[in-house]
Structure 1
Amino acid sequence: MYHNWLDRWDERRARRGEEEKTTTDFVLDPARAFSEAKEVATIEEFCRLADQAVADPAFFDEPSGSDQGFQKQDGWLRFPSGMSTDVDENNVVWAKITESGSFDQVLVVFHHWNATSRNRQIAQFFSRRGITVVEIAMPYHFERRRPGSSHADYMLSANLGRTIQSVRQAVWDGRKLLLWLRSEGYREISILGMSLGSWVAGLIAAHDPAVSKASLFLTAGSLADMVWTGRATRAIRDSLEPAIGLTDLRRAWAPLNMENHVHRLARPDLDLHVVLAKRDKVVLPELSQSFVQRLRDAGARPNILYLNCGHYSLARPPYILLAGLSLKRFLSAIAKSAR
């Protein structure tokens, strides 16, 4: 009875989020995704560039790697993004810092798609326990929101190239922040990603050795499959389906598929923590299970917590409390690199 009510609550929450989303045009837009794109006019040509990006170990490395331009004031950090887009607000990265008074550990948080506020409770909970919390704005979120937009439609959409550009920009921004945190003297860097933010956090953990611990909430491997099957992305699927099938979408967004980076996530000095919802209709459990199995096959041993709730009801008691306590234990454990 209770879980039937919980499912209905998740569905009502999903419907509210659906109100602002509409179908849009399918667009390849390869120049946003790949610097070498020239006369790309077909899905097959786009997919070939995506294949090359998967094979390129530097695809998620910011070319300049600059640590300049950081401004810290009154608990806020502001710095220029390493990628320039056609939305001026999106080209400046904002992060909220909740200090702990210690440089032993810092937790960088990447929120879910269309988040409207940062999580003060998480920040205060961990800062009181000696972990500084830095909540970064992903592209087109919070202070980086596109003027006139009802949600972060440029972060994830039926524009194939812009979606890759946005996730890649989020990874570059996150890695630039990690570089600054290292320069400030933080000794252990952990990251937390929620839903879409877990793809960003996972890609950063896969490509940046500065990360010693990564916690991924409500995650999976294939972003294409999540969009195609998920409750929150029906409008995007409706926009995609007349022009592209799931097989081609998987290939087009292959650089964003964490299953293609599991060998990096399985590196011996990285600890992984995964929180999954058994009743999730946004990131389907079978997609999450496929990703977990790929991690294990690559040699990773993730710490996994399964909760009998939905995607949105994870934020409700008792599930959020169980997830928070599990995350606390994970962050408190001695990192592999220190053993």
Structure 2
Amino acid sequence: MAARPSRETTKVFHSWLDRWDEWRAKQGNEVKEPTSYELEAERVFPGAGSLSGVDNFCALSEFAMADRSFYDPPNRDRGDFLRKNEWLTFSSDLSTDIEVNNQVWVKITEGKPRDRAVVVFHHWNARKWNSPLARFLAKRGFTVAEICMPYHFQRSRPGSLYADYMLSANLGRTLQSVRQSVWDGRKVISWLKSDGFGEISVLGLSLGSWSAGLVAAHDSSVSKAALFLTGGSLADMVWTGRATEAIRTSLAPKIGLSEFRKAWAPLDLGNYAGSMARRELDLLLVLAKRDRVVLPELARQYIHQLRDAGARPIVRELNCGHYSLALPPYNLLAGASLYRFLNPRR
């Protein structure tokens, strides 16, 4: 039997892990700059026009949060779907002023038998498709549909260095972008159902966990939802997270955290804990104890909200940081937890 590492060895390893996570955070933040604080309510609330005052914006947001149809794509069961080899494309039901963003791209990795599918929502500013994860699941019988989130990959805004329109100090545009990602995800699920898939799960990574969680909360077709590095309140994540410091720099002189939470109420997964607690939905949350992007206390608060609503999520806490979840052994542990969750029969 191999000897367990000493306490000192473990301390040194975790210190190195923290430094590696900080290096990754600095790398990502190099291209991010503070942008102007904007409401732009008309992007997400029809008829709002040149609405002034954050209080009015918050009132519209709280109304939208209570409106079940807010996340219902208008053409959910129909669209111009085109499948060519490993790619599925279609027009988003939510049209933006960035034309290239209005075409949705989905990378399909086929598994056999073709009866179970996993829709994957990647992290903010992802630079490549998660092919290792897709191959891992496909070899174990799951067809994987990796959806391109707004303003990423083929949908990137021309001239942008990162997905600044997906998450920013523009309150209306961020609401619009996340709503678009949910609408697009639900359209993919409709396509999968029409193609014969009976069991559909969603997997979200970091920012993608908010999209995946909102899809699961609003779409009864989803039977399992795995949320990696999630935190419930997107407003709190942006306000406290290492990766979003430039956004907070823009927000802090203009709006307080309490108002900010109300403005982004439709993006707070905790507000939909009751829907996530439905009997037909299984939940897995994978958290990083050393996370400085999505603070662990935010994740734990969300877990309490789920449990108070009657949900019984499986929770896996790993002693790593946000970025080091991608390193061994943590990526292997997370992958094993995901597979056991998706495939409890084996």
Please give the range of the TM-score, normalised by the shorter of the 2 chains: over 0.9
Where does residue 332 of structure 1 map in the other structure?
A: 343
Amino acid at match of 2:156: R
Identity %: 59
Where does residue 141 of structure 1 map in the other structure?
A: 152
Question: Of the candidates 177, 180, 189, which is equivalent to residue 188 of structure 2?
Answer: 177
Question: Of the candidates 40, 44, 47, which is equivalent to residue 33 of structure 1?
Answer: 44
- Relative to structure 1, the CA distance from residue 36 to residue 264 in structure 2 (aligned partners, 3 Å threshold; closer, same or farther) is farther
Contact 2:121 2:208 in 1 (8 A): yes
User: By how many angstroms is 1:34 displaced?
Assistant: 1.0
Where does residue 294 of structure 1 map in the other structure?
A: 305
Where does residue 130 of structure 1 map in the other structure?
A: 141
Where does residue 163 of structure 1 map in the other structure?
A: 174
> Within 1, Cα distance between the matches of 2:50 and 2:318?
48
Amino acid at match of 2:220: P
Amino acid at match of 2:23: R
User: By how many angstroms is 1:57 displaced?
Assistant: 1.1
- Misfit runs of 4+, over 6 Å: none
User: By how many angstroms is 1:39 displaced?
Assistant: 4.5
Where does residue 61 of structure 1 map in the other structure?
A: 72
**Per the alignment, in what secondary structure is the counterpart of residue 58 of structure 1?**
helix
Contact 2:284 2:313 in 1 (8 A): yes
Question: Of the candidates 272, 279, 286, which is equivalent to residue 268 of structure 1?
Answer: 279
Contact 1:199 1:258 in 2 (8 A): yes
Does 2:293 correspond to 1:282? yes
Amino acid at match of 1:74: N
> Within 2, Cα distance between the matches of 1:35 and 1:278?
41
Does 2:231 correspond to 1:220? yes
Where does residue 123 of structure 2 map in the other structure?
A: 112
Q: How many residues align?
A: 334
> Within 1, Cα distance between the matches of 2:155 and 2:245?
24
User: By how many angstroms is 1:159 displaced?
Assistant: 0.2
Contact 1:192 1:198 in 2 (8 A): yes
Amino acid at match of 1:35: P
Where does residue 9 of structure 2 map in the other structure?
A: none
**Per the alignment, in what secondary structure is the counterpart of residue 275 of structure 1?**
strand
In structure 1, stretches of 5+ residues that fail to align are 335-339
Contact 1:278 1:285 in 2 (8 A): yes
> Within 2, Cα distance between the matches of 1:287 and 1:33?
26
Amino acid at match of 1:21: K
> Within 2, Cα distance between the matches of 1:257 and 1:17?
24
Contact 2:41 2:50 in 1 (8 A): no
> Within 2, Cα distance between the matches of 1:25 and 1:66?
37
User: By how many angstroms is 1:66 displaced?
Assistant: 4.3
Where does residue 337 of structure 1 map in the other structure?
A: none
Where does residue 251 of structure 1 map in the other structure?
A: 262
TM-score by length of 1: 0.97
> Within 1, Cα distance between the matches of 2:100 and 2:166?
14
Contact 1:103 1:187 in 2 (8 A): no
> Within 1, Cα distance between the matches of 2:126 and 2:324?
15
> Within 2, Cα distance between the matches of 1:157 and 1:39?
19
Where does residue 210 of structure 2 map in the other structure?
A: 199
User: By how many angstroms is 1:7 displaced?
Assistant: 0.4
> Within 1, Cα distance between the matches of 2:220 and 2:125?
28
User: By how many angstroms is 1:242 displaced?
Assistant: 1.1
> Within 1, Cα distance between the matches of 2:336 and 2:207?
22
**Per the alignment, in what secondary structure is the counterpart of residue 290 of structure 2?**
coil
Deviation digits for residues 5-64 of structure 1 (CA, Å, limit 9, x no counterpart): 100110000000000000111000000121241341000010110111111111101123
Contact 1:110 1:197 in 2 (8 A): yes
Amino acid at match of 2:167: L
Where does residue 187 of structure 1 map in the other structure?
A: 198
Amino acid at match of 1:289: R
**Per the alignment, in what secondary structure is the counterpart of residue 190 of structure 1?**
strand
Contact 2:42 2:50 in 1 (8 A): no
